[in-house]
Amino acid sequence: MSSALDEFQDLPLEESLELMQSYMSELSRIGMDGQTAHDISVLPDTKPKIASALIKLLSVTDDQDTKSNYRTGIAVLAFFQPGVDEGGVSLDQMGPGQETWQAIVDEEMRILNKKLAGLGYGIQAEAAPQ
């Protein structure tokens, strides 16, 4: 399975900021709920280009909350897949290849997190409550 990080591009900072804002606006518009897959056609650009923009922004900020938001934004790209019905589908519905959309999203998210870790931007485990 390919992922949004397969075609990394070194984008200019201004373009990265504009793309991140468009992407976050789209996430807000569709109301991401973590239970629905959406078609990639609703994204403001390709998944690799959006991921590249967020990685660029990760590389220029020192704020840990902002970095966490950008890492989450990359992981959320897994919820956008080709061939999803208009308006989105529940993750428990069957997708292509007799897999649920949940399995497809989970696999891409695993790949994205592994590639982010390889770039030095892995998601750190939070400390367990005392």
Q: What are the tens digits of pLDDT across the range 22-66? A: 999 999 999 889 999 999 999 999 999 999 999 999 999 999 999
Residue 96 has pLDDT above 70, yes or no: yes
Q: Are 49 and 57 in contact (CB under 8 A)?
A: no
3-state secondary structure of 90: strand
CA distance 86 to 128: 39
* pLDDT surpasses 70 at 2: no
HSE-up of residue 73 (Cα within 13 Å, Cβ side): 30
Every domain of the chain and the residues it spans = 13-118
